[in-house]
Amino acid sequence: MSALDCEIQSLMQRVSETVILPRYRNLASEEITEKAHDDPVTVADREAEAMLAEGLARIDPTLAIVGEEAAHADPALLDRLSSDCWIVDPIDGTHNFAHGKPPFGILIARAEAGLCRSGWIYDCLSDRFCHAHRGTGAFIDGKPAKARATGKRPAVAAISVIFLDQTRRKAVKSEIIPHYTCVDTPRCAAEQYPRLALGENDVSFFERTLAWDHAAGALWLEEAGGKIARLDGSPYRVDEWDRPGLVGAANPALWNDMAKRLAALG
């Protein structure tokens, strides 16, 4: 791994060990609040983001920092996503973390002019560290990662309908899900993206595409040889955070099948 990768890994591990894990299954009720319905945030999210931001500012102080919790408090920070910036999800899978169950992790990405150039994914419980830089491949714990399909028929799909409106949810359930072996999503992009490359899931559809949830994982899956794109085939951009719809798959054929079915819904 490069010196930068080692620095990022060390920072993620340090934040996990000192801020996140001590509060796992150890949160008081007043330390959990909701930003929106079924969208919790904990004291650990805020403290972890502050520590990550401090560490990233030391690594490269020239980059703006867009953290999930800071952007929630001040939406104007989202404008920074079109510039060169760090993107931080201090606890990806907060819903799981707040309910005392896995998986959850830390996501960091580095973007330039709206495109992700580097991404790091850290699993707090297993210590798994995934990283990728555009054009240089994807890695898990320093070893090259190559995306592979499950080989199952029907293909295994992880589809979340949480953020779909009622009409589209009904359409997905009736027109998409029957064509796949559907499994539950982990409610954690830090886990879902590795599943798409490790032969556990074949394809996944995401309606909400916030930068801190998808920047690192989308780049990592792409560099592993999978495919991640908007329904029209255009690449994922971090500055299009409010644009719905994103499909990730272990290979282009699986992506094409899902995208074609979703496009038919109109």
Q: Phi, psi (5° rounding) for residue 252? A: -60, -35
The domain spanning residue 111 has which CATH number?
Answer: 3.30.540.10
Cα angle vertex 186, ends 262, 211, to 5°? Answer: 65
134 with 10, same domain?
Answer: yes
pTM: 0.96
Q: Considering 145, 179, 200, which residue would you say is the last residue of a domain?
A: 145
Using pLDDT thresholds of 50, 70 and 90, give the confidence band for residue 266: confident
> What average pLDDT score do residues 204-232 get?
97
**CA-CA-CA-CA torsion for 34, 37, 39, 43, nearest 10 degrees?**
10
Residue pLDDT, tens place only, 126-161: 999 999 999 999 999 999 999 999 999 999 999 988
Out of 142-146, 169-173, 246-250, 262-266, least confident range: 262-266
19 with 107, same domain?
Answer: yes
The answer to the question of residue 191 being in a domain is yes
Using pLDDT thresholds of 50, 70 and 90, give the confidence band for residue 162: confident
Q: Considering 145, 177, 192, which residue would you say is the last residue of a domain?
A: 145
The answer to the question of residue 150 being in a domain is no
130 with 186, same domain?
Answer: no
The answer to the question of residue 173 being in a domain is yes
The pLDDT of residue 55 is 98
The domain spanning residue 193 has which CATH number?
Answer: 3.40.190.80
Using pLDDT thresholds of 50, 70 and 90, give the confidence band for residue 119: very high
Name the E strands within the chain: 32-36, 39-42, 64-67, 85-92, 105-112, 115-123, 129-133, 138-140, 143-145, 156-159, 181-183, 203-206, 227-229, 246-249
Q: Considering 94, 126, 145, which residue would you say is the last residue of a domain?
A: 145
Q: 9 and 30 in contact (C-beta within 8 Å)?
A: no
Separate counts of helices (H) and strands (E) for the chain = 8, 14
The pLDDT of residue 50 is 98
21 with 117, same domain?
Answer: yes
Cα angle vertex 145, ends 136, 261, to 5°? Answer: 95
- Which residues constitute the domain of residue 107? 3-145
The pLDDT of residue 163 is 86
The pLDDT of residue 66 is 98
The answer to the question of residue 129 being in a domain is yes
> What's the number of domains the chain is made of?
2
The answer to the question of residue 210 being in a domain is yes
125 with 195, same domain?
Answer: no
